[in-house]
């Protein structure tokens, strides 16, 4: 179902007019209320009057995560704190967290885009949604919760973790939809298997998965093991949280809610816009946010934008499933490697579990990549010869995909930590060594 047909199916010319108007207002808002933006614009010789619409967006400066950190905690807020009704935080791998704020109206927009998202995934009033994103500073829990309430869904605010209880509620409540990270979904599937519960005996029909990159092969794996449809939801705290974009039932790209978030893709090196249909770093300008409006925020996520009409009837641009961030990319002996490439190969081979870990190191000045892959009890207790053959097969396939040599190590079941939130799949010891 389309929750807000007026905005989601708007003719593109009308959408452009709306974006033009909203951009102008946002630029005025930041210029007059945020010193950081006023200074940046002044340095470029720009005044709000120079921006007449989306066609002028390229004149505006970019914003980065570092800018948010440098202005920690509230320096980029465009409204006094008395108007801010909620704060969330996104914890990076290093340094201070990024603090984001919302006015009452921002929360209204947040709920609206999440309601649209759940609706696009086929969820409605008659569904019971078990929300297994973490509640708290992370935007996943409360973000999905408010949107689900707006939609009229029966929402179970179970949060992340407590996996046995998740299973109990799936059974006892007849839960029809779940929202959680893809890596937690794998853990849940494994728990169901251990408890000898056939997913077909449950009422679960759809899962809303996001907050971390996951491949098409991972989608197939989750759909098979949980017997559901797996829908990809994307978002980031700085822009609002979950609900920046979502797949519709066509599962062919994620519709961006363009009346609120204007997307561009750029070449991360030259910062120039990418050609039509070319992959680039996703950049967003918020069009309606009050507390933390951001101009050309560099997400570091890599994707391609597709403006073709979608069979579902929505006219909004679709972004391709994000399988990596530019800062997730490992450079190993000069070769670019994305963890998602390893995931794709392992699931394609299908002879191991989907649990893996990349360990990158520098030994005698040479970068090394070791991939730990978990195998099941049966394989692990097999003859050494069989294990060796499997190890060779995986290394061979990884090496021909990644173009570097890879050491593969098969490990016992349950050796790799399971995730209830965002999975950590890379240990880069080189960084640690540099810091020493
Ligand atoms: O992860 C918001 C969210 C919550 C999205 C629940 C979806 C579901 P942050 O913690 O600020 O916000 O992390 C944002 O996570 O820049 C991406 O790198 C990554 N990410 C989020 N969704 C996806 C996705 C939330 N569907 C960062 N596919 C983003 C790939 C994703 N990466």
What is d(CA 62, CA 56) in angstroms, rounded to the nearest whole number?
13
107 neighbors 86 (Cβ within 8 angstroms): yes
Predicted confidence at residue 431, as pLDDT, reads 77
Q: What is the mean pLDDT of residues 206-218?
A: 96
Ligand 1 atom having least distance to the Cα of 422: 1
Per the domain annotation, does 19 fall within a domain?
A: no
Domain match, 284 and 341 both: no
Domain match, 227 and 350 both: no
Domain-ending residue, one of 304, 326, 348: 326
- Inform me whether the pLDDT recorded for 92 exceeds 70: no
What is d(CA 124, CA 177) in angstroms, rounded to the nearest whole number?
10
Whether the CB of 243 sits within 6 Å of ligand 1:
no
Domain-ending residue, one of 326, 347, 368: 326
CA of 237 from ligand 1 middle (Å) equals 8
For a mutational test of ligand 1's pocket, the pick from 88, 234, 323, i.e. the residue with the most ligand atoms closer than 8 A to its C-beta, is: 234
Domain-ending residue, one of 301, 326, 351: 326
Question: Facing residues of 301 across strands?
Answer: 325
- Inform me whether the pLDDT recorded for 96 exceeds 90: no
What is d(CA 121, CA 178) in angstroms, rounded to the nearest whole number?
11
Q: What is the mean pLDDT of residues 101-115?
A: 98
CA of 246 from ligand 1 middle (Å) equals 11
CATH code at 420?
3.30.300.30
- Band the pLDDT of 81: cuts 50, 70, 90: very high
Angstrom CA distances, 363 to 339, 373, 397, 426, stand at 21, 21, 24, 17
Domain, as residue range, for 196 = 70-326
Whether the CB of 211 sits within 6 Å of ligand 1:
yes
Domain match, 208 and 291 both: yes
Whether the CB of 326 sits within 6 Å of ligand 1:
no
Predicted confidence at residue 68, as pLDDT, reads 96
Predicted confidence at residue 148, as pLDDT, reads 98
Which region holds residue 95: left if phi is over 0, alpha if psi is between -120 and 50, else beta?
Answer: left
Ligand 1 atom having least distance to the Cα of 300: 16
Predicted confidence at residue 73, as pLDDT, reads 97
Predicted confidence at residue 91, as pLDDT, reads 74
Whether the CB of 232 sits within 6 Å of ligand 1:
yes
**Structure tokens, 186:** 């794998």
CA of 406 from ligand 1 middle (Å) equals 29
Domain match, 292 and 422 both: no
Q: What is the mean pLDDT of residues 319-345?
A: 92
Per the domain annotation, does 363 fall within a domain?
A: yes
Domain match, 233 and 354 both: no
Domain match, 264 and 376 both: no
Domain match, 292 and 175 both: yes
Q: CB atoms < 10 A from the CB of 360, how many? A: 18
Whether the CB of 340 sits within 6 Å of ligand 1:
no
Whether the CB of 322 sits within 6 Å of ligand 1:
yes
**Structure tokens, 417:** 């930590």
- Inform me whether the pLDDT recorded for 436 exceeds 60: no
- Band the pLDDT of 94: cuts 50, 70, 90: low
Per the domain annotation, does 264 fall within a domain?
A: yes
CA of 169 from ligand 1 middle (Å) equals 26
For a mutational test of ligand 1's pocket, the pick from 211, 237, 297, 328, i.e. the residue with the most ligand atoms closer than 8 A to its C-beta, is: 211
- Band the pLDDT of 93: cuts 50, 70, 90: low
Q: What is the chain's mean pLDDT, rounded?
A: 96
Question: What confidence tens digit (pLDDT) does each residue in 23-69 have?
Answer: 999 999 999 999 999 999 999 999 999 999 999 999 999 999 999 99
Ligand 1 atom having least distance to the Cα of 254: 26
Question: What confidence tens digit (pLDDT) does each residue in 140-150 have?
Answer: 999 999 999 99
Domain tally for the chain? 2
CA of 110 from ligand 1 middle (Å) equals 15
Per the domain annotation, does 153 fall within a domain?
A: yes
Which residue is closest in CA terms to ligand 1's atom 28? Answer: 213
Domain match, 427 and 383 both: yes
- Inform me whether the pLDDT recorded for 432 exceeds 80: no
Per the domain annotation, does 99 fall within a domain?
A: yes
Domain match, 370 and 307 both: no
Sheet holding 366-374, edge to edge: 407-411, 366-374, 356-363, 426-428
Whether the CB of 218 sits within 6 Å of ligand 1:
no
Whether the CB of 222 sits within 6 Å of ligand 1:
no
Q: CB under 8 Å to 197, separation ≥6 — which residues?
A: 167, 171
Ligand 1 atom having least distance to the Cα of 325: 18
Per the domain annotation, does 49 fall within a domain?
A: no
Positive or negative torsion for Cα 387, 391, 396, 398: positive
The 3-class SS string of the chain reads: CCCCHHHHCCCHHHHHHHHHHHHHHHHHHHHHHCHHHHHHHHHCCCCHHHCCCHHHHHHCCCECHHHHHHCCCCCCCCCCHHHEEEEEEECCCCCCCEEEEEEHHHHHHHHHHHHHHHHHCCCCCCCEEEECCCCCCCHHHHHHHHHHHHHCCEEECCCCCCHHHHHHHHHHHHCCEEEECHHHHHHHHHHHHHCCCCHHHCCCCEEEEECCCCCHHHHHHHHHHHCCEEEEEEEECCCCEEEEEEECCCCCCEEECCCCEEEEEECCCCCCECCCCCCEEEEEEECCCCCCCCCCEEEEEEECEECCCCCCCCCCCEECCCCCECCCCEEECCEEECHHHHHHHHHHHCCCCCCEEEEEEEECCEEEEEEEEECCHHHHCCCHHHHHHHHHHHHHHHHHHHCCCCEEEEECCCCCCCCCCCCCCEEEHHHHHHHC
Predicted confidence at residue 151, as pLDDT, reads 98
Question: What confidence tens digit (pLDDT) does each residue in 251-279 have?
Answer: 999 999 999 999 999 999 999 999 999 99
CATH code at 240?
3.40.50.12780
Whether the CB of 237 sits within 6 Å of ligand 1:
yes
Which residue is closest in CA terms to ligand 1's atom 10? Answer: 90
Q: What is the mean pLDDT of residues 332-357?
A: 94
Per the domain annotation, does 59 fall within a domain?
A: no
pTM, rounded to two decimals: 0.95
Question: Facing residues of 128 across strands?
Answer: 154
Which region holds residue 243: left if phi is over 0, alpha if psi is between -120 and 50, else beta?
Answer: left
Answer with the residue of higher pLDDT: 380 or 39.
39
Pick the range with the lowest mean pLDDT from 3-17, 105-119, 280-294, 313-327: 313-327
Domain match, 388 and 350 both: yes
- Band the pLDDT of 327: cuts 50, 70, 90: confident
Domain match, 305 and 423 both: no
Whether the CB of 240 sits within 6 Å of ligand 1:
no
What is d(CA 425, CA 355) in angstroms, rounded to the nearest whole number?
9
Per the domain annotation, does 9 fall within a domain?
A: no
Domain match, 322 and 346 both: no
- Inform me whether the pLDDT recorded for 427 exceeds 80: yes
**Residue 23 half-sphere exposure toward CB, CA atoms < 13 A:** 26
């Amino acid at each position: 179902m389309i929750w807000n047909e007026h905005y989601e199916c708007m003719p593109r010319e009308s959408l452009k007019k709306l974006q033009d108007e909203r951009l102008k207002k946002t630029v005025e808002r930041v210029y007059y209320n945020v010193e950081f933006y006023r200074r940046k614009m002044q340095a470029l010789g720009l005044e709000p009057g120079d921006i007449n619409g989306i066609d002028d967006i390229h004149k505006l400066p970019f914003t980065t995560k570092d800018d948010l950190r440098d202005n920690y905690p509230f320096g980029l807020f465009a409204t006094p704190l008395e108007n801010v009704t909620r704060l969330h935080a996104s914890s990076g791998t290093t340094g201070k967290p990024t603090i984001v704020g919302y006015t009452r109206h921002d929360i209204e927009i947040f709920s609206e885009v999440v309601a649209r998202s759940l609706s696009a995934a086929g969820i409605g009033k008659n569904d019971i949604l078990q929300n297994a994103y973490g509640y708290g500073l992370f935007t996943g829990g409360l973000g999905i919760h408010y949107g689900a309430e707006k939609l009229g869904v029966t929402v179970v605010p179970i949060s992340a973790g407590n996996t046995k209880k998740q299973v109990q509620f799936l059974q006892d409540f007849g839960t029809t939809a779940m929202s959680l990270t893809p890596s937690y979904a794998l853990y849940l599937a494994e728990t169901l298997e251990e408890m000898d519960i056939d997913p077909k005996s449950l009422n679960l029909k759809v899962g809303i998965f996001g907050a971390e990159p996951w491949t098409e092969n991972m989608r197939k794996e989750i759909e098979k093991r949980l017997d559901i449809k797996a829908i990809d939801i994307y978002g980031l705290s700085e822009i609002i949280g979950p609900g920046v974009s979502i797949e519709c039932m066509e599962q062919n790209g994620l519709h961006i809610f363009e009346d609120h978030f204007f997307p561009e893709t750029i070449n991360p090196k030259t910062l120039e816009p990418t050609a039509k249909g070319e992959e680039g770093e996703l950049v967003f300008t918020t069009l309606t946010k009050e507390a933390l409006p951001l101009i050309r925020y560099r997400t570091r996520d890599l994707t391609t934008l597709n403006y073709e009409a979608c069979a579902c009837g929505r006219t909004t641009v679709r972004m391709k499933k994000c399988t990596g961030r530019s800062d997730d990319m490992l450079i190993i002996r000069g070769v670019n490697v994305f963890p998602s490439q390893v995931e794709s190969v392992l699931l394609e081979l299908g002879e191991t579990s989907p649990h893996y870990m990349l360990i990158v190191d520098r030994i005698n000045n040479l970068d090394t990549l070791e991939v730990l892959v978990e195998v099941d009890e049966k394989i692990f207790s097999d003859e050494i010869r069989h294990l060796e053959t499997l190890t060779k097969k995986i290394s061979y396939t990884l090496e021909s995909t990644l173009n570097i040599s890879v050491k593969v190590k098969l490990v016992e079941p349950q050796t790799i930590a399971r995730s209830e939130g965002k999975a950590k799949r890379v240990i880069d010891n080189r960084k640690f060594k540099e810091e020493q």
